């Protein structure tokens, strides 16, 4: 083995080369992983056509997808930003509760099902987007709708007096 010291660069390298004019400009989202994970199913619901176009472009470009599919990628980013804007405008409190729970529980979704249900209800009622988990077996309750989570610290999602999270059995809000 060679006896030489490792050298590490701590400099920040920024590429200032502007993108070509045919690639549409888009502001980056700037969200961390917890808010993106919290909103991911809603982003997928609204942005599926753009995601499909982007993935098809990458498949057809044979390894040059990052360059050749910039236009489609920018459409995906704009769509995701619009979903996050809508959630922030209409369901900010529920959204924050859910992504903070994810942040504090190592992104383990099963630890945050109460907050998730509140957010899912708000997003459905105010924006019209619904969480759907692909390939859920027919006749089986999707994992996010189960009233008991096996591995969660608090396994029961619903309290004994609740019909759904935050709604009493008599229908009044909690």
For the stretch 11-20, pLDDT in tens is: 777 778 887 7
The answer, yes or no, to whether residue 61 has pLDDT greater than 90, is no
pLDDT top residue among 162 and 128: 128
Q: In this structure, is residue 141 part of a structural domain?
A: no
Q: In this structure, is residue 92 part of a structural domain?
A: yes
Q: In this structure, is residue 95 part of a structural domain?
A: yes
Q: In this structure, is residue 173 part of a structural domain?
A: no
Question: Mean pLDDT over residues 143-147, rounded?
Answer: 81
Least confident of 54-58, 128-132, 149-153, 168-172: 168-172
Question: Mean pLDDT over residues 44-50, rounded?
Answer: 95
Q: In this structure, is residue 11 part of a structural domain?
A: no
pTM: 0.79
Q: In this structure, is residue 171 part of a structural domain?
A: no
| Residue 66 CB neighbour total at 10 angstroms | 10
Q: How many domains does the chain have?
A: 1
Provide the residue range defining the domain that includes 53: 33-132
Q: In this structure, is residue 75 part of a structural domain?
A: yes
Q: In this structure, is residue 14 part of a structural domain?
A: no
CA distances from 126 to 86, 109, 119, 131 (A): 9, 23, 10, 14
Taking alpha carbons only, the member of 144, 111, 89 closest to residue 34 is 111
């Amino acid at each position: 083995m060679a006896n030489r010291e490792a050298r590490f660069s701590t400099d920040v390298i920024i590429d200032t080369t502007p993108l070509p004019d045919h690639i549409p400009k888009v502001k980056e989202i700037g969200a961390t992983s917890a808010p993106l994970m919290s909103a991911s199913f809603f982003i997928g619901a609204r942005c599926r056509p753009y995601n499909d176009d982007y993935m098809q472009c990458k498949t057809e470009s044979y390894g040059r997808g990052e360059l050749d599919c910039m236009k489609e990628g920018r459409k995906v980013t704009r769509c995701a930003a619009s979903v996050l804007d809508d959630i922030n405008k209409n369901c900010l409190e529920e959204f924050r509760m859910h992504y903070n729970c994810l942040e504090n529980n190592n992104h383990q979704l099963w630890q945050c099902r109460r907050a998730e249900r509140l957010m899912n209800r708000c997003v459905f009622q105010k924006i019209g987007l619904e969480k759907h988990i692909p390939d859920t077996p027919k006749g089986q309750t999707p994992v996010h709708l189960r009233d008991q989570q096996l591995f969660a610290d608090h396994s029961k999602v619903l309290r004994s007096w609740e019909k759904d999270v935050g709604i009493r059995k008599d229908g009044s809000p909690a």
